[in-house]
């Protein structure tokens, strides 16, 4: 299926830094040329993508024509070897696939050959000029039924083709948003445009277009709990937040730019999942970590007593951090030991930011600060949460719903 350009074209203000880095990554990996990327996403300006490549890319884009030519150049001998290798692979692949189909039909009754008859005959007819009448006779299918099936398939394909631009539009702001949340955000738009598709069918369509998000797993320890400073008891054991600003949870995670490794401190409301405060720094000193807490307290909408929960890290046990908590009338709470599950919510928020938003490496700390600011703004105001009945953190923080499911 050919990619349709997204219309109407947009202005420069519609593209945040995360989207620019995603386009740069696609072009430099060879998934798209810079002209194809410009056409697919409806990017305004003939040289806009090139400007992004020169500013955020890792290759020398001063002469893009020579760069693209050098990446695709192939000698005749290399081409022959590649074609021979592909031919052998195709023969083996066909043998394996035929065996798989035989096993599937005999053991599971899938009728794969019947269901895929139309697309198979169309392809073979184009490549080998096989008679349609002969193929229909062999499989006991009328030509009328064959053509009716083609019309139904074409109508369905035209309907599904409207989905891809809608998904691209949302992923411009949230590049790694999952299919369940996509379906929730697009359900009303599907109804307006007459697109009949359910959640599972959307999974199947995105899978067929290679647009499903693959999970990433990565873990680095940033907590030093072996120190002489005072630790505090865990006040969140067997408790559950019932309203905003009842519990704050905090954690630190690392993020790399091409300059160095940076550290992001986060303070999150346990009930609404809203990121209340954050700070990016070049080290994990208490002086830098406490700045996230200062932002969180400034963003509070109430002054009632509350609890601050964290791991037993040196920064959270430090005098400067505990003095700030005492000044704000906030009780400290800490995990019983080095157990990430006792601070699971804070770890989860770290993961969402790193693996859904901060997925492309920035060149400088200034770029990274801008990307983090945009990402947190999108997270708080646009990204729905499964554990919040698909509401956004900011909505829940400012208006408590009647019922919420248990946190995921």
The tens place of each residue's pLDDT in the chain, 408 residues long, gives 455 555 555 666 678 888 889 888 888 888 888 888 888 888 877 788 888 888 888 887 777 665 665 555 667 777 888 889 889 888 888 788 778 878 887 877 776 665 676 677 777 766 667 777 777 776 677 778 778 877 877 777 888 888 888 888 888 888 888 888 888 888 888 888 888 888 888 888 888 778 887 766 554 555 554 544 567 788 888 788 889 999 999 999 989 999 899 999 999 999 999 999 999 998 888 899 999 999 999 999 888 889 999 888 888 888 899 999 999 999 998 887 655 566 788 888 888 888 888 888 899 999 999 999 999 999 999 999 888 889 999 999 987 544 444 443
Q: Are 122 and 157 in contact (CB under 8 A)?
A: no
Q: Are 266 and 357 in contact (CB under 8 A)?
A: no
Distance from C-alpha of 276 to C-alpha of 249, rounded to nearest angstrom = 10
Coil, strand or helix at 176:
coil
How large is the angle between the packed helices 34-41 and 17-28, nearest 10 degrees? 140
Nearest to 48 by CA among 9, 3, 2: 9
Is the overall model pTM greater than 0.75, yes or no? no
């Amino acid at each position: 299926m050919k990619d349709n350009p997204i219309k109407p074209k947009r202005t420069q203000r519609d593209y945040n830094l995360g989207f620019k880095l995603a386009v740069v990554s696609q072009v430099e990996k060879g998934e798209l040329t810079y002209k194809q990327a410009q056409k697919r996403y409806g990017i305004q300006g003939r040289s806009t993508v090139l400007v992004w490549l020169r500013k955020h890319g890792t290759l020398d884009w001063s002469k893009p024509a020579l760069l693209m030519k050098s990446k695709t150049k192939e000698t005749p001998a290399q081409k022959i070897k590649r074609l021979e290798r592909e031919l052998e692979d195709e023969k083996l692949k066909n043998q394996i696939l035929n065996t798989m189909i035989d096993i599937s039909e005999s053991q599971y009754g899938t009728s794969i050959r019947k269901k895929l008859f139309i697309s198979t005959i169309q392809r073979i007819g184009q490549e080998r000029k096989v008679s349609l009448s002969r193929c229909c006779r062999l499989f006991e299918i009328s030509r009328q039924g064959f053509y009716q099936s083609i019309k139904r398939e074409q109508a369905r394909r035209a309907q599904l083709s409207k989905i891809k631009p809608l998904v691209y539009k949302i992923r411009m702001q949230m590049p790694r948003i999952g299919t369940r949340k996509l379906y929730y955000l697009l359900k009303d738009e599907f109804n307006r445009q007459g697109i009949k598709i359910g959640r599972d069918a959307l999974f199947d369509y995105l899978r067929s277009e290679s647009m499903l998000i693959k999970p990433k797993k990565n873990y680095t320890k940033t907590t030093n709990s072996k120190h002489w400073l005072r630790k505090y008891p865990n006040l969140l054991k067997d408790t559950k937040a019932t309203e905003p600003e009842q519990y704050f949870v905090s954690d630190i995670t690392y993020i790399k730019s091409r300059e160095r490794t940076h550290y992001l401190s986060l303070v999150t409301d346990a009930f609404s999942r809203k990121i209340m405060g954050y700070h990016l720094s070049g080290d994990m000193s208490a002086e830098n970590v406490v700045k996230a807490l200062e932002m969180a307290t400034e963003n509070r909408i109430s002054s009632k007593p509350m609890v601050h929960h964290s791991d037993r890290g040196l920064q959270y046990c430090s005098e400067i951090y505990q003095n700030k908590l005492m000044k704000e009338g906030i009780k400290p709470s800490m995990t019983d030991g080095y157990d990430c599950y006792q601070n699971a919510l804070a770890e989860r928020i770290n993961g969402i930011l790193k693996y859904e938003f901060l997925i492309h490496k920035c060149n400088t700390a200034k770029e990274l600060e801008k990307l983090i600011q945009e990402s947190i703004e999108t997270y708080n105001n646009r990204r729905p949460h499964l554990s919040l009945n698909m509401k956004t953190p900011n909505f829940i923080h400012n208006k408590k719903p009647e019922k919420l499911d248990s946190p995921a």
